[in-house]
C-alpha cells in the first residue's frame, strides 16, 4: 500500500509567509558560499537546488489533514482537510476525470481542518464517480451536507453529480475496503476523534491524529499502545510541545516526545509527526524532529522507531513487503498455477481465493503448482497447500527452491505431496501419455 500525505497541518491552513520564503532564499544562498556553481547554466542551478535539504528548498506544507492509502485494488482517503483539493486535482488526471473513479473516505471527526477541503474536491462533481463515506460520529452526514449550504458554498450537496453513500461504523468494527481491513479506536479529543488502524495482512498503518494523552501511566496508555502495537507506521498528533500540551490541557492534542514514548512502547517501526501547529514555522517543526531523534537515542534497550516529519507530498510505500502473486495457465485439462513471493498468512488468503474461483469457474480436477518463484513459505502457506490438496482431485508441486522444500521437510509434510523437479515431469505424471497407459 502506498501512503501519501496531501495535507499535514492541524486546525487551520497555514501557507508560508513572504518572510519565511525570504529566510529560505537567504539560507540557500549561504549554502552556495565556497561552491563553484556556474550561474549561467540552468542545469547546474537545478542540480544545486534539488541537492538542498527539504527544510531549505521546500515546505512542510500549509494544507490541513488529508492522507490517501492506495492499493492495487482501490483508493482510501482519510479526512477531507484542505489537502483534499490538491488530491482531487491529481485524481482528475486519472479515471476520476472520466467518471470512472471509486474511493472510500474515512472521517476521524468533523473539526474544520478535517472537512474543509471536501467542497473543493473536483471528483465529486463528475457523474459516474462513486464514493463511500465511512464515519463513526452519527452527525458526519449532516455536517458535510451543511457546510455546502448556500450561505457557505455555491453548489449544494444534493446537486453533486458523483454517487455518494454514507456508512456508519461502530468502534472496533472491521471494515474491508481495497484489500485492507480498517478498524477504529476513540481518542481523547473534544467531541472525540477516532484513530484508524489499516492492515493488509502483513503491513499495518495507524492514523492517530487529534488525540490527547493526559495520563501517561501504563494503565492509562495501555489501550492505545495495544491498538498501535507493532504498526509499521504510526501517524501521530505532534501539534504541541510537551510544555504546551500541559498548558493547553483538554485541547485534545499531543506532542512528538509523547509520540516517541508511545511508539517505542508499542513497537512501532516508523513514527510520523503529523498535524503540525499552524503557529509553528518549518524551522520549528524540523527542530522538533531533531529533538525527537535525540530523545529516542537515550534508550539502548530497544530499537527506537524511525522518525519522519509528515510533509505535503510525502509517500511511504508499504507494498513491497507482501508480494504474493498467483498466475494460472491451462495446458489441456491441467492448470499450471505459478506462485510467487511470500507464501504467508496474507499469501494464503490470496491463494485460497484464487483457487476457489478457479475450481468454481472451471471443472478443474488437475493442478500443477509451479513454486519456482516462491521466496518464503510459512506454516499458513503449508496449511493452505494441504487444504488445496484435499479439494483438488490431482495436485503436484514442481520446481521447489531448496529452502522451500526444506520448510515442507521441517513441517514433516513432504509425503503429503507429489513433488517434481520440473513442471513438465509433473504434467506427464498428471496426464500420462497413451504409450504409458499401455
Ligand atoms: Zn485537527
Ligand atoms: Zn480536532
| 76-126: pLDDT as tens digits | 999 999 999 999 999 999 999 999 999 999 999 999 999 999 999 999 999
Per-residue pLDDT of the chain (438 residues; tens, 9 = 90+): 999 999 999 999 999 999 999 999 999 999 998 888 999 999 999 999 999 999 999 999 999 999 999 988 899 999 999 999 999 999 999 999 999 999 999 999 999 999 999 999 999 999 999 999 999 999 999 999 999 999 999 999 999 999 999 999 999 899 999 989 999 999 999 999 999 999 988 899 999 999 999 999 999 999 999 999 999 999 999 999 888 888 899 999 999 999 999 999 999 999 999 999 999 999 999 999 999 999 999 866 778 999 999 999 999 999 645 678 898 898 888 999 999 998 988 889 889 988 888 887 777 789 999 999 999 999 999 999 999 999 888 999 999 999 999 999 999 999 999 999 999 999 999 876 544 444
Q: Which ligand is located closest to the Cα atom of residue 189?
A: 2
Quickly tell me which residue has 499401455 as its cell. Answer: 438
| Selection from 380, 339, 335 nearest residue 359 by Cα | 335
Q: How far is the CA of 244 from the centre of ligand 1 (A)?
A: 16
> Domains plus CATH for the chain?
2-14+61-319 (3.60.15.10), 18-56 (no CATH), 323-437 (3.30.750.24)
Task: Give the Cα separation of 119 and 85 in Å (integer).
Answer: 8
Closest ligand to 9 CA? 1
Rounded Cα distance between 297 and 306, Å, is 11
Model confidence pLDDT, tens digit, residues 264-307:
999 999 999 999 999 999 999 999 999 999 999 986 677 899 99
Ligand 1 centre from 352 Cα, in Å? 41
- Centre of ligand 2 to C-alpha 386, Å, is 50
Residue appearing with cell numbers 535539504: 53
**Distance, CA 188 to ligand 2 centroid (Å)?**
10
Cα separation of 228 and 206, whole Å?
A: 6
The C-alpha cell 496449511 sits at: 383
Residue 10 CA, ligand 2 centroid: distance in Å? 8
Give residue 160 CA to ligand 2 midpoint distance, Å.
26
CA of 195 to the centre of ligand 2 (A): 12
Quick one: 257 exposed, middle or buried, by C-beta within 10 A (0-12, 13-18, 19+)? middle
What CA–CA distance (Å, rounded) separates 212 from 96? 37
Cα of 209 to ligand 1 centre, how many Å?
7
Amino acid at each position: 500500500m502506498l501512503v501519501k500525505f496531501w495535507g499535514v497541518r492541524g486546525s487551520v491552513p497555514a501557507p508560508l509567509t513572504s518572510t519565511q520564503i525570504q529566510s529560505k532564499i537567504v539560507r540557500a544562498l549561504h549554502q552556495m558560499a565556497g561552491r563553484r556553481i556556474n550561474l549561467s547554466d540552468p542545469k547546474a542551478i537545478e542540480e544545486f537546488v534539488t541537492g538542498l535539504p527539504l527544510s531549505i528548498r521546500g515546505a512542510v506544507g500549509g494544507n490541513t489533514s488529508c492522507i490517501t492509502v492506495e492499493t492495487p485494488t482501490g483508493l482510501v482517503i482519510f479526512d477531507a482537510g484542505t489537502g483534499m483539493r490538491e488530491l482531487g486535482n491529481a485524481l482528475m488526471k486519472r479515471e476520476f476525470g472520466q467518471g470512472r473513479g471509486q474511493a472510500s473516505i474515512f472521517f476521524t471527526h468533523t473539526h474544520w481542518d478535517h472537512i474543509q477541503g471536501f467542497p473543493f474536491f473536483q471528483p465529486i462533481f463528475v457523474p459516474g464517480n462513486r464514493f463511500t463515506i465511512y464515519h463513526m460520529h452519527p452527525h458526519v452526514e449532516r455536517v458535510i451536507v451543511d457546510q455546502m449550504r448556500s450561505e457557505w458554498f455555491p453548489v449544494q450537496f444534493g446537486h453533486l453529480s458523483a454517487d455518494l453513500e454514507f456508512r456508519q461504523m461502530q468502534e472496533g468494527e472491521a471494515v474491508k475496503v481495497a484489500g485492507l481491513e480498517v478498524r477504529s479506536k476513540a481518542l481523547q479529543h473534544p467531541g472525540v476523534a477516532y484513530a484508524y488502524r489499516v492492515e493488509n495482512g502483513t503491513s499495518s498503518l495507524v492514523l492517530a491524529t487529534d488525540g490527547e494523552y493526559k495520563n501517561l501511566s501504563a494503565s492509562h496508555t495501555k489501550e492505545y499502545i495495544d491498538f498501535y502495537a507493532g504498526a509499521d507506521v504510526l501517524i501521530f498528533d505532534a501539534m504541541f510541545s510537551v510544555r504546551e500540551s500541559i498548558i493547553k490541557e483538554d485541547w485534545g492534542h499531543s506532542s512528538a516526545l509523547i509520540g516517541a514514548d508511545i511508539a517505542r512502547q508499542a513497537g512501532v517501526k516508523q513514527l510520523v509527526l503529523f498535524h503540525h501547529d499552524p503557529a509553528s514555522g518549518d524551522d520549528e517543526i524540523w527542530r522538533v524532529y531533531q529533538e525527537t531523534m535525540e530523545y529516542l537515542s537515550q534508550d539502548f534497550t530497544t530499537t527506537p522507531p524511525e522518525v519522519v516529519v509528515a510533509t505535503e507530498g510525502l509517500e511511504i510505500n508499504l507494498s513491497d513487503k507482501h508480494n504474493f502473486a498467483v498466475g494460472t495457465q491451462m495446458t489441456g485439462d491441467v492448470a499450471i498455477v505459478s506462485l510467487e513471493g511470500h507464501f504467508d498468512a496474507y499469501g494464503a488468503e490470496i491463494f485460497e481465493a484464487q483457487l476457489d474461483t478457479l475450481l468454481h469457474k472451471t471443472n478443474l480436477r488437475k493442478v500443477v503448482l509451479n513454486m519456482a518463484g516462491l521466496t518464503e513459505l510459512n506454516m499458513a502457506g503449508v496449511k493452505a497447500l494441504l487444504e488445496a490438496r484435499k479439494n483438488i482431485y490431482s495436485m503436484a508441486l514442481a520446481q521447489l527452491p531448496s529452502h522451500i522444500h526444506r520448510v515442507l521437510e521441517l513441517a514433516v509434510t513432504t509425503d503429503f505431496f507429489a513433488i517434481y523437479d520440473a513442471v513438465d515431469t509433473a504434467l506427464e505424471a498428471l496426464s500420462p501419455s497413451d504409450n504409458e497407459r499401455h
